[in-house]
Amino acid sequence: MWALEELGLDYEHVPLGGSYKGLDNPAYLALNPNGLVPTLQDGDLTVWESHATVRYLAAAYGAGTLWPQDVRERAIADQWTDWTATTYQPAWVKVFWSAVRTPVEQQDLVIIADGLAATGKCLAILDRQLDARPFLAGGSLTYADIVAGVSLYRWFTMEIERPAAPNVARWYERLSEREAFRKAVMVSYAELVGRLAF
Ligand SMILES: N[C@@H](CCC(=O)N[C@@H](CS)C(=O)NCC(=O)O)C(=O)O
């Protein structure tokens, strides 16, 4: 959604999952066999996996903006995208599930602490990268900032003890100035608090 907004594309959002349900609908499972969101349809193309959808939108519609033209800059954007999928996202999502989605009376402080420690390491890595540049791959927003930065609203608003990461905090401020980020990412997750399933 954030990538669509950044690119100024016309789109129709069909909300599914959570209180909207519909993920086990056979017509939806035919599009996305995982029964998860998001799924992107563009003409006769159907793509699932959020990072693949963002990368596709950037490549198709964001040449020179979200999609760096320089292959070396793109390698760096890919590096942060894959690192987000394999390392950063599992770490911060563990905190989100254990400290936000799990009802307080079921919370396990050891699991929360593990997630915070793993996320802290990732934030230190991000903080070093953002020390010398405003965005992950250089001077302007690319698809890497979208896949990694989409975590920041929840990270900075969850009721947890956050390790200091000043460059990450400035990156979040920079992203929060973007209308697309505010519209697509800074949205309430109140219905998820203390709720493991729908
Ligand atoms: N690796 C997948 C994960 C997809 C995923 O876990 N989606 C969640 C929402 S973030 C979902 O559909 N949950 C079921 C629900 O919301 O009911 C991706 O990045 O697209």
Does pLDDT of 49 surpass 90?
A: yes
Cα of 19 from ligand 1 centre, angstroms: 14
Which one-letter DSSP state was computed for residue 138? B
Q: How many residues does the chain have?
A: 198
Q: Which residue ranges have their beta carbon within 6 Å of ligand 1? A: 17-18, 23, 36-38, 49-50, 198
Answer CATH for 71-184 from 3.40.366.10, 3.40.50.150, 1.20.1050.10, 3.40.50.2300? 1.20.1050.10
For residues 152 and 173, what is the distance between their CA atoms, to the nearest angstrom?
A: 10
Domain-by-domain residue ranges, the chain?
2-61, 71-184
Residue minimizing CA distance to atom 11 of ligand 1: 36
The DSSP line for 157-178 is HSSS-PPP-HHHHHHHHHHHTS
Alpha-carbon distance of 88 to 188, in angstroms, equals: 22
CATH for the stretch 2-61: 3.40.30.10
User: For residue 97, is pLDDT > 90?
Assistant: yes
37 CA to middle of ligand 1, Å? 5
pLDDT tens-place string over residues 2-39: 999 999 999 999 999 999 999 999 999 999 999 999 99
